[in-house]
């Protein structure tokens, strides 16, 4: 089969690597891709937010299956456009992807599903929001309603921080995404990510992970898109996972189906766990990045069969087969990230790294020039390894990190500390 993956990050490199392991895959195209993806797939220059362009490209290239990586094309309706053209696509409709694209919508659905989550209020003007925050006090969580590239959620530990977040959102810092603001109670506990596939009806768990959002060791410094992740997440025990399915995920999916917008694709539930009880922090309508990297290393070739069954409404026939092992990914980022950083710095030593089913360096922001790999973004490499234990996987990943020669890059040295 001919497969098209949309996206250009470490998540899409991991998806491409897993898909390529499956003998069903004849031709693999990733649009737009990156320098690492180019080792497994053809990279194509395509505007992935333009549904008509994606459909035309898929028809011209006899694509049998499309996998949508990031949230922006989902929110733009690219999966709808592909389905309407009779193409097989993995990814929710724009209406279903509102579970990520609108925080207020998610809260409405959680109300309808009676899913445990934080109490909240919604605002469309700063004065009322400021008064509410002042009355509630800190800590408190301020969320821009719409997509804000991972920057629209502020966990404010003090009242001045919370008021500043409200002002920033209503001052247009997040564009239309901040036109409405959701303010939630702060939830205590340990956060973990639960990934399930949903084909509109059947919900199939495919794994758990935890990421490290802060830039610095010891979970310090500003938030990032994620500086590393590991799977499984020990805090999400089988019992808690079952409770999350029964109390949160299945009722939400049933509520989506009832309103005529059934969900099809991967659903990423961010959960807060305290005293054995899970509560919903947020939904995402895509794989996490870098959580996808650890999930794909553990799932391997079956990932394609699972995504296809999901797109075709056959998840009830599927079982996930897990090796009883652990995977970890360490993000290497450009100095300065998540603030300003330099592009174009040279990365050496990648050719000497092992690449097999236990060790692989996924590329996020890279490009190739004259045979040299150059940094081309904030998060640049995802050094990923598997092991019989998390410690073994971690030792292997950091040994790879240490053999990469990139003076302008950095990483956290404590990925996985919570589980170890
Ligand atoms: N790593 C967090 C996310 O993908 O949203």
Residue with tokens 């079982």: 319
Pairing of strands 2-7, 65-68: parallel
Query: If pLDDT is split at 50, 70 and 90, which confidence band does 333 have?
Result: very high
Q: 125-179 — its CATH code?
A: 3.30.1490.20
Distance 59 CA to ligand 1 centre (A): 31
Report which of residues 412 and 152 the model is more confident about. Answer: 412
Instruction: Check pLDDT > 80 for residue 160.
Output: yes
3 state SS of 15: helix
**Domain topology for 326-410:** 3.90.600
Instruction: Check pLDDT > 90 for residue 205.
Output: yes
Distance 382 CA to ligand 1 centre (A): 14
Does the beta carbon of 210 lie inside 6 Å of ligand 1?
A: no
Angle between helices 302-311 and 10-21 (to 10 degrees): 100
Does the beta carbon of 9 lie inside 6 Å of ligand 1?
A: no
What pLDDT, in 10s, does the model give residues 218-240? Answer: 999 988 999 999 999 999 999 99
What pLDDT, in 10s, does the model give residues 371-392? Answer: 999 999 999 999 999 999 999 9
* Buried-state track 36-75, b at ≥16 Cβ within 10 A, e below 16: bbbebbebeebebeebeebbebbeeeebbbbbbbbbbbbb
φ, ψ (nearest 5 deg) of residue 274: -145, 130
φ, ψ (nearest 5 deg) of residue 49: -95, -5
* Mean pLDDT across 19-38: 97
Could you give the C-alpha distances from 387 to 211, 244, 350, 396, in angstroms and in order? 18, 27, 21, 8
Query: If pLDDT is split at 50, 70 and 90, which confidence band does 177 have?
Result: confident
Give the domain ranges of the chain: 2-93, 125-179, 190-317, 326-410
Question: Is it true that domain 190-317 has CATH number 3.40.50.10800?
Answer: no
Cross-strand partners of 211: 229
The structural architecture, per CATH, of the domain 2-93 is 3-Layer(aba) Sandwich (3.40)
* Mean pLDDT across 143-164: 92
Which protein residue's CA is at the shortest distance from atom 4 of ligand 1? Answer: 288
Distance 307 CA to ligand 1 centre (A): 19
Which protein residue's CA is at the shortest distance from atom 3 of ligand 1? Answer: 288
pTM here? 0.96
């Amino acid at each position: 089969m001919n497969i098209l993956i949309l996206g250009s990050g470490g998540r899409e490199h991991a998806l491409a690597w897993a898909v390529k392991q499956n003998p069903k895959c004849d031709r693999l195209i990733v649009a737009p891709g990156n320098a690492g993806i180019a080792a497994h797939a053809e990279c194509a220059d395509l505007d992935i937010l333009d549904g008509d362009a994606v459909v035309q490209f898929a028809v011209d290239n006899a694509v049998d299956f499309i996998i949508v990586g990031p949230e922006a094309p989902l929110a733009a309706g690219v999966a709808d456009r592909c389905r309407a053209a009779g193409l097989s696509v993995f990814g929710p409709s724009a209406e279903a992807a509102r579970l990520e694209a609108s925080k207020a919508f998610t809260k409405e659905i959680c109300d309808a599903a009676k899913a445990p989550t934080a109490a909240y209020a919604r605002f469309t003007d700063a004065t009322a929001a400021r008064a509410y925050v002042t009355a509630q006090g800190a800590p408190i969580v301020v969320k821009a309603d719409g997509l804000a590239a991972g920057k629209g959620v502020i966990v404010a530990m003090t009242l001045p921080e919370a008021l500043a977040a409200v002002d920033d959102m209503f001052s247009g810092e997040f564009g239309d995404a901040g036109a409405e603001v959701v303010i939630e109670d702060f939830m205590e506990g340990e956060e973990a990510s639960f990934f399930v596939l949903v084909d509109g009806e059947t919900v199939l768990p495919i794994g758990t992970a935890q990421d490290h959002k802060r830039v610095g060791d010891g979970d310090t410094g500003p938030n990032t898109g994620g500086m590393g992740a590991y799977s499984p997440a020990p805090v999400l025990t089988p019992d808690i996972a079952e409770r999350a399915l029964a109390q949160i995920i299945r009722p939400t999916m049933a509520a989506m189906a009832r309103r005529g917008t059934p969900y099809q694709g991967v659903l990423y539930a961010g959960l807060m766990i305290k005293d054995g009880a899970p509560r919903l922090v947020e939904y995402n309508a895509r794989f996490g990045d870098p959580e996808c990297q650890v999930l794909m290393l553990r799932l391997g070739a079956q990932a394609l069969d699972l995504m296809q069954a999901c797109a075709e409404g056959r998840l009830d026939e599927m079982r996930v087969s897990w090796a009883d092992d652990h995977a970890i990914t360490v993000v290497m980022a450009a100095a300065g990230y998540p603030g300003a950083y330099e592009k174009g710095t040279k990365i050496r030593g990648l050719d000497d790294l092992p690449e097999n089913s236990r060790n692989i360096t996924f590329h996020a922001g890279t490009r190739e020039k004259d045979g040299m790999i150059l940094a081309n973004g904030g998060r640049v490499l995802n050094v990923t390894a598997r092991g019989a234990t998390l410690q073994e996987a971690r030792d292997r990943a950091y040994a790879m990190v240490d053999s990469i020669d990139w003076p302008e890059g950095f990483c956290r040295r404590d990925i996985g500390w919570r589980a170890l």
